Amino acid sequence: MKTLDDLTIGEAKQLAAMFNGGGVTDNSAWEIGKIYLIRTVTMIDTGKLVAVTPQELVLEDAAWIADTGRFADALKKCQFNEVEPFPTGRVIIGRGAVVDAVCINSAQREQK
């Protein structure tokens, strides 16, 4: 009788595919390449979504939005009262911390 320890890499991949490997499915609501405003339990981030993993969202051109001002107006105009850009590169957000997210038209990168 074969045990899990006896599986070949190919067999393990087939087994993982049967259960989606815990990954993101084709019907995920996230759209790679779109710019998002993401509210987490502690802060608000904006940026272009470049990757989605089972546990993380990865943004580029990201900023921490310390103060949105009037929220509905900020979403329409993509202008925020206080913006703290992350350094150039990728920012990783734990998906377990996400409260909600919305696509926006542009990401503000100038410190304000």
Residue 2 lies in a domain: no
18-75 per-position pLDDT tens digit: 665 455 555 679 999 999 999 999 999 999 999 999 999 999 999 999 999 999 999 9
Q: Supply the CATH number for residue 47's domain.
A: 2.30.30.100
Residue 92 lies in a domain: yes
Cα atoms in the Cβ-side hemisphere of radius 13 Å centred on 110: 5
Residue 70 lies in a domain: yes
Residues spanned by the domain of 45: 23-103
Q: Summarize the confidence of residues 89-109 as an average pLDDT.
A: 95
Predicted local distance difference test score (pLDDT) of residue 30: 95
Residue 15 lies in a domain: no
Residue 98 lies in a domain: yes
Count of domains forming the chain: 1
Predicted local distance difference test score (pLDDT) of residue 20: 57
Predicted local distance difference test score (pLDDT) of residue 18: 64
